[in-house]
Amino acid sequence: MSSNDVTHHAADDHDHDHGHDEHGPAPGLMRWVTTTNHKDIGTLYLWFSLVMFFIGGAMALVIRAELFQPGIQIVDPMFFNSMTTMHAIVMIFGVVMPAFVGLANWMIPMMIGAPDMALPRLNNWSFWIMPFAFTIMLSTLFMDSGGPAGGWTLYPPLVLQMGDSFAYVIFAIHFLGISSVMGSINIVATIFNMRAPGMTFMQMPMFVWTWLITAYLLIATIPVFAGAVTMLLTDRFFGTSFFNAAGGGDPVMFQHIFWFFGHPEVYILILPAFGIVSSIIPTFARKPLFGYDSMVYATASIAFLSFIVWAHHMFTTGMPLAGSLFFMFSTMMISVPTGVKVFNWVATMWRGSMTFETPMLFAIGFVIMFTVGGLSGLMLAITPADIQYHDTYFVVAHFHYVLVPGAIYSLMAATYYWLPKWTGNMYDETLGKWHFWISTVFVNVLFFPMHFVGLAGMPRRIPDYSLQFADWNMIATIGAFGFGFSQLMFVYIIVKCVRGGEKATANVWEGARGLEWTVASPAPYHTFETAPAIESSTVTR
Amino acid sequence: MRSSVYRSGFRWAFLLVLLLALPLGAWADWGAVNMPRGVTEISNEVYTLHMRIFYICCAIGAAVFGVMIVSMFLHRKSRGAEPATWHESTSVEIVWTVTPLIILIAMAIPAAKVLIKMEDFSDSEMSIKVTGYQWRWHYDYIDSGVDFYSQLAPEHNKARQQGADVDLEATFTGTDFNGEEPIYLRQVDNELVVPVGVKIRFLHTAADVIHSWWVQDLSIKKDSIPGFINENWARIDEPGIYRGKCAELCGRDHGFMPIVVRAVPQEEFDAWIAEKQEATVAANENSHRQWSKEELIATGEKVYQANCMSCHQAEGQGIPGMFPAISGSEIATGSVDEHIGTILNGVEGTMMSPFASVLSDADLAAVISYQRNALGNATGDIVQPTHIKSLRDDVDAAVTESVASAADNILTQGVN
């Protein structure tokens, strides 16, 4: 990543247009501030999300440490609540989303044979907004009134009780939203306009497809979220009553608006992961992706359905019966296209010639554990049962299974998969496998017991609990610390790889197909300044 | 070479799983891993649905993971597997789209039936209005005029404070319908008593933020939303004690507002209601007599610990930036009537909620006298219940009134 050595690249890049004055990156720190290069910006996004991963993870460890035993030992309940709130905000908006945007920046131009993103200056701006937005967001933890403590869902009226940090939080959310929308517009513009001549939509790699659909989800829903938080702001400071029953408003309306954003957001966090896994499994099975067309249609169906299932987060708010039935049926429907994707991955593996390098391990871990989360999601769709599961640790277990060994594992798989392409060096395979196995053991020790305590009646977002939940909570906390600290291995492996190692070939993996593998490793600072020819051997389908 | 590294890595990892999983599994309490069956017809049907969808998920998981494991064993390069070249099959795709669809329909029909039954509020024989407050419940037996507040029992409230050194397991054991159970954080000062075999309609609302009244054994969870009324119902089959909790994050003490429902035979319930009605009369009388200073301060200390301490802290020192101190505060050492007004009406836009409808005149008088003569304050003022009553008549308790009248309107017009 930061090993993109200036002279080395300039030399590598001798065949590009010499009339151009940008041979390589600018020297020094200003390179990173002023860069409009998709690879540099991708790198910035990826490092940023890695740092945020440890900040959000530290918050999770505060939560788990308090829950190690019943009784209040370490933090005040108010601080506990701001930890659960901030942990979610950081992990969603600071880790998973920027990491996917970082991968999109690095890989989409290289996968479609484009020289860069379509809107390079916008690209710089959409990254650099984020560190400032998160500085504001995290600074609220040091304010007298404490950080936001009403949950990341920001439900009124509770959220309106927040102290002085309220305005800062809303402001930061607006900026994160602007960053996401700008990033998405850039991705859509790039995919539509910058594909190498001859690359049709149905020849694009799955990662490009899933990101195209994700970008539309972002453009459609982030403004809705921005509207909702702005209404909170005017309710608080300008005397409106959007969500205040005493003034004729309705607190539940916020939940409808929020989840109209929030449910597509869930797919924003997982569709690019589907794309990553759909790239990795064919490579290591040495067999093309099974059912490419149905994968594209399934992704589009999931995206469409994501707009009509939002109220399944609200079955206990007292919806009319017809509403509850509709949202139950539409939610159950989502399992059909999701099932198609899982079956296609399994069929891709079937009769392949598999090897199990670290990216493949993480991808298989993704398929298995994401499916565990998907199956508990199917259970949650059954409304009468959901009314019992709702707001318990069963739900916490469910969405952590799809997000940690789901989205996060796909990000780790992607890192190991493309790291040799980014740095020109192979990572340490033995350590990578250790990282996978240790993480996988601990992530299950951490999240599986949450199913049990949730079913047995433990509500979520509580700092202290009754004694019948004590054993499983202690086990989960052991898993949390094990999982958290084993991620230091990930950093070590990345840093080691950036600094050197066995040189990677252009193709890196025996079974890898696609345009990104036709350029040297590390990828030159500028790639595809002349559009590549599209041949069947370089197309992934 | 790589594959041998991989194999030994795998073996070690597998051993690690076993080493961790076995002792942890043996030591854990396997009793608390599933949803309880509960004690109503609905809760039994929900349990059946839950187990059915669980088994379906297990079967799907076993099939998918089974194929994956077989494939990972057979189709590996190290065993000399040659990759196939096929990558499409429309008929297979149709099969694995239609089969899940059929399973879903088979699941959706019974689920819809149970849901329709849950939403059938007709022919209820009694109604209880449940109002969520930060952080207590208010129960109003609409048919018999009995109402009271219910919150975490005082000894639990002490034990859950940061730094309290209490042996939770030894101290808190009680009974519920499973027999002897640890009840830390699951006990209240006033239980909700209901008759068995009667269809009870619960009406849910809230006074400040959204809460959610959840009793797992009754399969009841419904959000309490300020300004709106939700309903659900239960007919409890067996007498017993059923414990629940607030399920919707409602602020600092969300984890500390339990619910206890005691289901008793009808005659016992009638006797309990009569007793409660008498107690209400007695409490009214208490508000009319003159109290001694010692009596006020002693009662006030208890009221303080139950209602004020979790924010303003045991010594009245508060939490800087979040909850103001009472020791030496302008309100608690300044004008008596302003002090009373602050507590009656709350402070808008903060977590200080109005206590006008939460505390009786006697309790208010006691706690105000306590705050002015303890916690480092020594104003010497005492307040009599009769004084509170006279102020109450002047004070516009708009917030509570409007909640109550909105509730009554909806009640008379019917819900939904």
Note whether B245 contacts A457, CB cutoff 8 Å. Answer: yes
Cα maximum dimension of chain A = 73
Q: Cα dist. A4→A39, A491, A525 in Å?
A: 10, 18, 8
Residue matched to tokens 């051997």: A537
Amino acid at B206: A
Note whether A354 contacts B81, CB cutoff 8 Å. Answer: yes
Please give the structure tokens belonging to residue B412. 């008379």
Provide, as residue numbers in chain B, all residues whose Cβ is less than 8 Å from the Cβ of A346. Answer: 64, 67-68, 71
CB neighbour class for B413 (10 Å; exposed up to 12, middle 13-18, buried from 19): exposed
Instruction: Single out the residue of B18, B96, B82, B72 nearest to residue A368, CA to CA.
Output: B72
Catalytic residue among A49, A82, A165, A180: A180
Q: What is the pLDDT of residue B352?
A: 83
DSSP-derived secondary structure letter, A25: P
Amino acid at A401: Y
Which residues 6+ apart lie within 8 Å of A255 measured at CB? A153, A155, A313, A314, A317
- Give the 3-state secondary structure of residue B263: strand
Nearest CA of chain A to the CA of B360: how many Å?
25
CB neighbour class for B13 (10 Å; exposed up to 12, middle 13-18, buried from 19): middle
Say how far apart CA A299 and CA A305 lie, in whole Å. 10
Say how far apart CA A277 and CA B289 lie, in whole Å. 76
Catalytic residue among A23, A286, A433, A460: A460
* pTM, two decimal places: 0.86
Q: What is the pLDDT of residue B402?
A: 55
Provide, as residue numbers in chain B, all residues whose Cβ is less than 8 Å from the Cβ of A433. Answer: 5-6, 9-10
B:376-395 residues touching chain A, CB 8 A cutoff: none
Say how far apart CA B59 and CA B62 lie, in whole Å. 5
Q: In what order do the strands lie in the sheet with B199-206?
A: B146-150, B136-141, B126-133, B199-206, B230-235
Q: What is the pLDDT of residue B405?
A: 59
Q: What is the pLDDT of residue B9?
A: 53
- Give the 3-state secondary structure of residue B241: strand
Known catalytic membership, residue A460: yes
Catalytic residue among A9, A38, A236, A263: A263
Q: How many Cα atoms within 13 Å fall on the side-chain side of residue B126?
A: 22
Q: By the 8 A CB rule, do B41 and B237 touch?
A: yes
Low-confidence spans in chain B with pLDDT less than 50 = 1-5, 396-397, 399, 413-416
Residue matched to tokens 């980014």: A422
Amino acid at B387: H
Note whether A375 contacts B225, CB cutoff 8 Å. Answer: no
Mean pLDDT over the full length of chain B: 83
Say how far apart CA A445 and CA A242 lie, in whole Å. 43
Q: What is the pLDDT of residue B394?
A: 61
Chain A interface includes B103 (CB < 8 A): no
Note whether A289 contacts B87, CB cutoff 8 Å. Answer: yes
Note whether B255 contacts A455, CB cutoff 8 Å. Answer: no
Spacing of C-alpha A494 from chain mean position: 19
Q: How many Cα atoms within 13 Å fall on the side-chain side of residue A393?
A: 27
Count the Cβ atoms, other than its own, within 10 Å of residue B82. 12
Q: Which of B16, B185, B251 sits opposite A465 (nearest CB)?
A: B185
For residue A497, the surrounding DSSP H or E stretch is helix A470-499
Q: Which of A245, A287, A375 sits opposite B87 (nearest CB)?
A: A287
For residue B232, the surrounding DSSP H or E stretch is strand B230-235
Any idea of the CA torsion for A9, A13, A17, A19, to the nearest 10 degrees?
40
Q: How many Cα atoms within 13 Å fall on the side-chain side of residue A529?
A: 15
Please give the structure tokens belonging to residue A462. 């509580």
Q: What is the ipTM of this complex?
A: 0.89
Say how far apart CA B355 and CA A305 lie, in whole Å. 46
Note whether A316 contacts B222, CB cutoff 8 Å. Answer: yes
Which residues 6+ apart lie within 8 Å of B58 measured at CB? none
Low-confidence spans in chain A with pLDDT less than 50 = 1-21
Amino acid at A417: Y
Known catalytic membership, residue A211: no
Note whether A81 contacts B16, CB cutoff 8 Å. Answer: no
Any idea of the CA torsion for B35, B39, B45, B47, to the nearest 10 degrees?
10
Q: Cα dist. A177→A102, A134, A148, A216, A496 in Å?
A: 16, 12, 18, 14, 34
Chain B interface test: which of A467, A483, A541 (most B C-beta within 10 Å): A467
Catalytic residue among A12, A265, A386, A516: A265
